[in-house]
Each structure stands twice: as structure tokens, then as C-alpha cells.
Chain A
Amino acid sequence: MNDKGAAGLLEHYDPQGYFCEMLGLPGQPTGFTRPVWERIGHLGLDELHARARDAALELYNFGITFTVYTQKDSIDRILPFDVIPRLISPEDWLTIETGATQRVTAINLFLHDVYHDQKILKDGVVPRELVLGNKNYRPEMCGLDVPFGTYVHINGTDLVRDHAGRFLVLEDNGRSPSGVSYVVENRHLMQRAFPDLMADIGIKPVSNYGQKLHEALAEIAPPGVDDPQVVLLSPGTYNSAYFEHIFLAREMGVPLVEGRDLVVEDDRVYMRTIAGLEPVHVIYRRINDDFLDPEAFDPTSMLGAAGLFGAYRKGHVALANAIGTGVADDKAVYAYMPRIIAYYLDEEPILPNVETNICREPEALKHTLAHLDKLVVKPVGESGGYGITIGPRASRKELEACRKQLEADPANYISQPMVELSVAPTLVETGIEPRHVDLRPFVVTGRSTWVLPGGLSRVALTKGSIVVNSSQGGGSKDTWVLE
């Protein structure tokens, strides 16, 4: 608005010693972000707030919401959106792109191995019981070949940046990673609300995700099917991620089906149409393994289709992601990922892990119990940020509770040193303040691997918080990979 206010708005921004996505290391301002940062300053606080309000209203009107169910009512909430984008330099992007590709390549080789010859177990690189005793290991998959050896067709790799700006992998999401709809919708929203901020800045596009995904899914269709029918299988409108299911079905131009729309006859999958049953060749399923087929897995499931697994085994239908991928994104297996990458690819990880103590190992448990107040303790089976104890921020009582849980069931936990998550400037009531962020790039693999240039930047909107999950007060930002 006016220059004086603009300068003031940026001058008061202080990353407090953290690595900042906009300004880089303290005292070393990052050059590539300068034009955007200056334009934000020129817009001024009032204008930023006005546009942020419009953006929130638009998200609500578009129904880009997740549904929170209470006993009495259902409430549609938007995922809070921060209008200040998070920028990624071309060099950093190259690291992420090659690193994420390397990782998913290793994960697919690992999955093929553990469902076939189990060499990595025989060679003692990964403990046998960690894999075979894992609740997400599916013995039904043993000996089954999947097209191109691709098990994880869609992977979400959660990355954080430490105090030096180094990208680290926090966890892998190789089952049904969600959030890509926000990546694309956030960009569309920014294009409408901030054309002036984006003008003449080369930003890699994200809007072709649907086409890329459809291409990959078509590649894995059963042999001999030229024009495969791809469908998206959703648990239905009551699922909190239903918006994303709609988004993906629309972007790919494929039907969104529910289990009740599917029928399996003679090991072939069909959907119920107005003209009767029509064949289905590829299912992008957004329901868990357990619920896919009541005959093969959870017999109480109403969400899948009886007989689906039989059709899958015969190769008459392809599933993305494959069944049994949960064994690879397990938080305990995660700890072995650098060794898994070295084992199959004979390479150093391009994106390192956060140092991880596997509490099932006595040494690691001892170390964890001795340094509880300095470590982050995570249960291996949970997602969504639940059950995490952040040592340096926990009360004495919380630490005691954590100690008891660890001693009772050490195999259920890992611990990691607390990473000083990077921050990004974020619009708050009184100005612009640093907030912690992470990044989830989306990696699509059919015959080959493609990484969506960008990803979901989740931001912990509560001051000081490092929990970015949407279920716990997280929001999102548009992520710009510069050309």
C-alpha cells in the first residue's frame, strides 16, 4: 500500500534463528526469493488480509473442505490457507526430485523382494520379524507379480528442513497419501487472488497432475487392454478426504465409484451402469487394504467389493497402490531406509533420514529412555501426528506417561532427535511471523517415475508448534518451484 508500511511489515519479520524458506540462513538472505518477498511488502498488511479473507471464502464456497462430524451435526471446514507462498529454488528442487525418485525406486524394489525371494531378510539387512511380523505385511501378496514391479504408484514423501536448510525425510506415505488436491487448488487460488505477485516469476506448473496420474494408471492396466477403464474407489461422501477423491476423479476424467458400484464375476471386476455391468481395469483405490475385499480381508467391510482380490491375483484388474505397501512406509522400517537404498541401488541416499532410534532394539531403547526430554517419541502404527511426545516441549507428567508406554511396548516406538524445523513467513493477525513448515512432494510411478514439481507445504499455524497435521491445527501454503 504505502512504502513506509511495506518496509515496516518486512522489517519486523524475524525467523528467530531458524532456517527460513524466504530468507535462508540467518545473515545470508536468499537471492531467488527477493522479488516475491519485496512484492509482499509492497502489498501491505491490509491488502494481504483482505485477499486472505476472499481466498478463505472462495475455498468454503467451492466446498474445498473436509468434514468434521460431531454427535449432532456435520461441519464443513476448510483447510486453513496461508497466502504467503513457500518458494523452492531450482537447485533444491533437483535434490528433492532425484532424492524422492531414488527413494520410491528403492521402496518398490524392497516390496518386490519381501513379497518374493526375501533376499534382504536373508542377508540380515532388515530384521525378518520387523517385516514378516508387521501388521501391514500381506502374505497373500507373496509370489504375485505387479506390472513393472511398481507397488507404490503414488508416494508422498514427507520432508523437513533442519537448521542448516538440509532436506531430511521424516516419513514415507506409500499407502494412500492425501493432500495433492490442495497443491493444485492452492495454486489456482493464488492465480486468482495474487496475479500481481506471480507476474513474470517462472513457476513450474502443477495443474497437469491428473493427466500424469491417469497416464501412469493406464500403463499398469492388464495386458491386452488398449483403452483401459480407470476408476477411483472412494469410501464415499462421509470420508473426510472425499473432496480430494472428487478432485482426482475430475482431473482424470474417470468415474468415482464406491464399493457398492462394483461387482466381481468370474474374477473380473465390473461397475454397475445404466447399461448394465461394464468392465473395470484399473482401480485407484483410496481405501485401506483391510477394506478392499470382505472375502480376502476384513469380512465386515462394506466399502470394498467381494472377490476383488481374486480378480487382482489373476491379473484382471490393477490396483494402485498395490496391496501390502504399508510394510514399507512403517515408521520402524523407515529407520532402515538408508540401508535399503544402499542394498538395492548401491547409492547413498540423496535425501537423508532423520536419525532414528528403533526402540525394539535394546541399545536404542536405553538411549531413548535416558534422553526422553531431548527426543521426539513416535508410535510406529499411527498417522496424523497422533500419539507423539515431543520431549523438549513435554511436561514432567507427559514424559512419565511416555516412559511407561515405552517400557510396556518398546517395539511400538521409535525416537528421533528434535529437528529444528525450518520456518516460512506466515500471515497472522498483527503482521507476518515465522511458522514451521514441512513439505510433501507427490511421486507418481507407472513404467517410470515423475515428481509433481511442488508439493504440499503444511504449516503449523500455532505459534511455536511443530505439528503441521490438518487434524491438529495445521494449514497449507502454495509451493512454488521456480524455473
Chain B
Amino acid sequence: MSNLLARYADAAFWMARYVERAENLARVLDVNETFSRDTRGGRNWLSVLQLYDDGERFHDRHDEATAAAVRHFYVLDPENPGSILSAIRTARENARTLRPLISTEMWVQLNIFHNRLRALAPEDLSEPRIARLCGFIKESCQAHTGITEGTFYRDAGWSFYQMGRALERADQATRLLDVKYHLLLPGPAAVGSPVDLSQWNALLRSASGYHAYRRVRPSGMTPTSVAGFLLFHDDFPRSVSACVKALGATLADLRTRYGLAGGVQAMAEVEALRDSLEGTNIEAVVAGGLHEFIDGIQVRLMAITDGLSQEFFGRASAGSEAPQAATEG
């Protein structure tokens, strides 16, 4: 059997990333009811814009961050490359490129999912319905993940798929943490207040981590321990550490199994990131500055993507000359 086409590796990696991204966005929108309450208890959809660094792009097109406008921007806006619709469209286009490789079930599910999203009307995003819609999106993304796990042939394509998923998950976890850090720190008085805790609670829930966290820490909740859980807890599948370890294991296995000379740069970046996570703990991170630490992780995650792009996908870097479907950076 021949080795995987570079273009297919690229498409598998990004298909996974875009589905994972859509799922995370749906999680965030779903819990925004509580997540977005500001210190005065009002709903503040700006926090979602902040989370994805989209303030400027949003305000180019909208005067005010009303709930309806933000929801539309993130779910159905075809012009917003960061919307769920755009993410699933790109995932589907990558799946179409991968049709010769992936199972028919994987393709059909993504195709139907995309068609359903396209058929949504603005009223489907209304406040009473948004939770149900987010539930549908999450479940569809999870169905994709499950079908893939159950049907994707275990060749190098599967490795690139897994790496894309792990990388995106790690990236999303750091974004969630980072925005909380910004929101919470300016008013030190608010740290530890009921509002503050409800936000950290919501953050855990958006990462599906509340119950897992409770099992580890049956009583109490501190921002530091929540951040520590999301960064370092290896048994939680969405933690940064778990994702980075999975990424490293997959990459090492891929290189050994197929005797690949490429991937040196990406592997070095993964190892450096793993070492930096293993060599510290949450107390030290908070003392040294959580934001700076998270920034450092994100830079490394980008460097890993760059390494994969150059050494396996045949691209100069993640951002350069994207094949017609695969990516952005």
C-alpha cells in the first residue's frame, strides 16, 4: 500500500480541526446564558467575541453586540469564517476531498449535517431555541467523531485526523482559560465572589468538565484549581496536557510506523510543550502570569501546525497557499 498523499494528510488534519472547532463554539454558545453574565448580572455577549478575538470583525458589520446579532454571527453567518456554518462547510469540503479515503458513513453524516445547518432560519437561533440548536450541533459533531472512530481505516490518515483533533482541543481549552483570565483579573475584588465562581463553573461546563472536576475535587471550587484542572489534568480528555500528550504519542507512532523522516520540527515543538507543562504546576503558573503561560502554549501549538504543514503537507507554512478546502492557520 502506498503512503498517504500529502494533500490527504492536510485535509484529514483540518477536517478534524474544523469539526472540533464547531463543537467547541456550540459548547460556548450553549452555556453563554450564565457564562456571559458580567459583574452586574447582565448578559454580556461581548465575552464570546473576546474569546475568539472577533471584536473588530464583528463591529465592522454590526453596531451593537446584541444577543441575536452575536448568535447569528457565530452560527449562521456564511461570511464569518469563524461561524459554525463556515467551519462545517470547510470540514465538509475537506471530507469531499477525502471521499476516496474516508468511510461513506463519515461523508454522508457530514453532508447531511451541513445541509441541515444551511436550512436553518433566523428564528431557529431565538433565545428559547438556542440551547436545543447547540445541542443538535454538539451531537452532530460528536456523531462525526464517533463514526470516524468506528469506521476510519487506521492508516496515516487516521493519525493526522487525531492530531488535528487534539491540537484544536488544546487550542480551544487555552482560549477559554485566557478569556476568563482577562475578565476576572482587572477587578481583584471580584475574584472568589459568587459571580466569579459562577463563571468558572460555566467555563467548566462548556468544556464538559464540571462532573469530572467534581470527582477530583468533591468540595469547593477555586479559580486556580479550575485552571489547573483544564491545563494539567491528564485524565480529562479536553485538558491541554492530555491533548498535547495524545498529539505527541500519535506523531511519534506515525513516524515510527511509516518510517517517516519528516516531522522533526513538529516533534521538537511537541516535546518542548510537553516538557514545559510537566515542569510546572498551576500555582507557579499563576504566580508567573497565567496569560503569559497560555500565550506561550498557543505559540507552540501554532509552531506544531507549521511544522506539520511544512514537513508533511508540502506547504511553506500553515497560512500559506491553502489547498482549496483544507485550512486557515
Question: Which residue of the partner chain, among A242, A246, A249, A278, contacts B3 with CB atoms under 8 Å?
Answer: A278
B6 x A272 contact (CB < 8 A): yes
**Chain A residues within 8 Å of B96, by CB:** 63, 237, 242, 246
Given A62-B108, A63-B96, A237-B93, are A257 and B5 also a contact pair (CB < 8 Å)?
Answer: yes
Cβ contact within 8 Å between A255 and B324: no
Residues of chain B lying within 8 A (CB to CB) of residue A271:
2, 5
* A272 near B99: Cβ-Cβ < 8 Å: no
Does the CB pair A274–B9 fall under 8 Å? yes
- Interface flags for A209-247 (1: CB within 8 Å of B; 0: not) read 000000000000000000001001000111000100010
A250 at interface (Cβ–Cβ under 8 A)?
A: yes
Inside 8 A of A257's CB, which chain B residues have their CB? Answer: 5
A232 surroundings in chain B (CB, below 8 A)? 100
- A298 interfacial contact with B, CB 8 Å: no
Asked whether B2 lies within 8 Å of A261 as measured between CB atoms, the reply is no
Using A246-B100, A275-B260 as known contacts, say yes or no to A61 and B108 having CB atoms under 8 A apart.
Answer: yes
Q: Would you call B97 an interface residue if the criterion is a C-beta within 8 Å of the partner chain's C-beta atoms?
A: yes
- Closest Cβ of chain A to B189, distance in Å, is 53
Question: Could you tell me which residues of chain B, from 221 to 246, have a CB within 8 Å of some CB in chain A?
Answer: none
With a cutoff of 8 Å between Cβ atoms, the chain B residues found around residue A256 in the complex are: 99-100
Q: In the assembly, what is the distance between CA of A59 and CA of B112, in Å?
A: 11
> By the criterion CB–CB under 8 Å, are B7 and A261 in contact?
yes
Q: Which of A60, A258, A274 contacts B156 (CB 8 A)?
A: A274
The chain A residue with its CB closest to the CB of B99 is A246
In this complex, the member of A257, A271, A273 whose beta carbon has the largest number of chain B beta carbons within 10 angstroms is A273
Q: How far is the CB of A439 from chain B (nearest CB, A)?
A: 28
Nearest CB in chain A: distance from B7 CB, A: 6
A232→B2 CA distance, assembly (Å): 14
Q: A237-B93, A237-B96, A255-B100 are in contact. Are A278 and B2 (CB under 8 A)?
A: yes
| Interface contact B259-A275, CB-CB below 8 Å | yes
Residues of A within 8 A of B156 (CB): 274
Asked if B35 is an interface residue, CB under 8 A from chain A, the answer is: no
Q: Knowing A250-B99, A274-B260 touch, does A62 contact B104 (C-beta < 8 A)?
A: yes
Interface size on A, residues (CB 8 A): 27
Q: How far is the CB of A410 from chain B (nearest CB, A)?
A: 44
Task: Mark B92-104 against chain A: 1 for CB-CB distance below 8 A, else 0.
Answer: 0100110110001
Specify the chain A residue showing the minimal Cβ separation from B107: A63
**Beta-carbon contact of B99 and A273 below 8 Å:** no
Q: Which residues of B contact A250 (CB under 8 A)?
A: 99-100
- Measured as residues with beta carbon below 8 angstroms from the partner, the interface class of chain B is 20 to 34
What are the interface flags for A61-80 relative to B under an 8 Å C-beta threshold, 1 for contact and 0 otherwise? 11100000000000000000
Taking CB as reference atom, which chain A residue is nearest B4?
A: A274
Task: Please tell me if the beta carbons of A261 and B5 are within 8 angstroms of each other in the complex.
Answer: yes
Name the residue among B2, B3, B111, B115 with the largest chain A CB count within 10 angstroms.
B2
A260 proximal to B (CB < 8 A): yes
Chain A contacts for B14, CB-based, 8 A: none
**Which residues in B have their C-beta under 8 angstroms from that of A258?**
7
Does B314 count as interface, using CB distance less than 8 angstroms? yes
Is the Cβ of B100 less than 8 Å from the Cβ of A274?
no
- B262 in the interface (beta carbon within 8 A): yes
B325 at the interface (CB under 8 A from A): yes
Asked if B312 CB lies within 8 Å of chain A CBs, one says yes
What distance in Å separates the Cβ of B104 from its nearest Cβ neighbour in chain A?
7
The answer on a CB contact under 8 Å between B111 and A61 is yes
Q: In the assembled complex, which residues on chain A have CB atoms less than 8 Å from the CB atom of B115? A: 60-61
Q: Which chain B residues border A276 with CB–CB below 8 Å?
A: 261-262
Q: How far is it, in angstroms, between the C-alpha of A257 and the C-alpha of B115 when the chains are bound?
A: 27
Q: How far is the CA of A373 from the CA of B26 in the complex (A)?
A: 64
**Cβ of A237 to closest chain B Cβ, rounded Å:** 6
Q: Bound complex: CA of A242 vs CA of B2, how far in Å?
A: 22
Q: Select from chain B the residue with minimum beta-carbon distance to A242.
A: B96
Cβ distance A419 to chain B, nearest Cβ, rounded Å: 38
Min CB distance B77 to A, Å, is 16
Digitize B106-130: 1 where CB-to-A-CB distance is under 8 Å, 0 elsewhere. Answer: 0110011001000000000000000
B7 and A237 within 8 A (CB): no
Cα A249 to Cα B99 with chains together (Å): 9
- Cβ-defined contact, B2 with A255, below 8 A: yes
A327 to B261, CA, bound (A): 47
Beyond A237-B324, A275-B258, whether A229 also contacts B108 by CB under 8 A is no
Contact between B314 and A249 (Cβ–Cβ < 8 Å)?
no
CB interface residues, A 253-273, toward B, < 8 Å: 254-258, 260-261, 271-273
Question: Please, which residue of chain B has its CB at the minimum distance from the CB of A236?
Answer: B324
| Contact residue among B3, B93, B100, B108 (Cβ-Cβ distance under 8 Å from A273) | B3
| Complex Cα–Cα for A271 and B6 (A) | 9
- A229 to B5, alpha carbons, bound, how many Å? 13
- Provide the bound-state CA to CA distance between A255 and B2, in Å: 9
Q: How far is the CA of A261 from the CA of B4 in the complex (A)?
A: 11
8 Å CB contact of B314 from A60, A63, A246, A272: A272
Give Cα A260–Cα B3 distance, bound, in whole angstroms. Answer: 17
Complex alpha-carbon distance, A249 and B4, angstroms:
14
Contact status B5-A255, CB under 8 Å: yes
Q: For A229, what are the chain B residues with a Cβ–Cβ distance below 8 Å?
A: 2
Report whether A272 and B5 are in contact in the complex, using a CB–CB cutoff of 8 Å: yes
Residues of B within 8 A of A272 (CB): 5-7, 314
Which residue on chain B has the smallest CB distance to residue A243? B99
Write out, one digit per residue, whether chain B residues 9-38 have a CB within 8 A of any chain A CB (1) or not (0). 100000000000000000000000000000
Across-interface contacts of B5 in A (CB, < 8 A): 255, 257, 261, 271-274
Nearest CB in chain A: distance from B144 CB, A: 15
Check if A273 sits within 8 Å of B6, measured CB to CB.
Answer: yes
Q: Which residue among B6, B258, B261 has the maximum number of chain A CB atoms within 10 Å of its CB?
A: B6
Contact with B2, one of A236, A249, A260, A273 (Cβ below 8 angstroms): A273
Query: Contact between B325 and A274 (Cβ–Cβ < 8 Å)?
Result: no
Interface digits, B31-71 against A, CB 8 Å rule (1 contact, 0 not)?
00000000000000000000000000000000000000000
- Interface residues in B284-329 by Cβ distance below 8 A to A read 312, 314, 324-325
Distance (Å) between the CB of B258 and the closest chain A CB?
6
Interface contact B262-A274, CB-CB below 8 Å: yes
Known contacts A272-B314, A274-B5, A278-B2; 8 additional CB pairs below 8 A are A63-B107, A237-B325, A250-B99, A255-B100, A260-B7, A272-B6, A274-B3, A278-B3
- Identify 6 residue pairs between A and B in the complex whose beta-carbon atoms are under 8 Å apart, listed by A's number: A61-B111, A61-B115, A63-B107, A237-B325, A246-B99, A272-B5
Please provide the 3 A-B residue pairs with the shortest distance between their CB atoms, ordered closest to farther. A273-B3, A249-B100, A246-B99
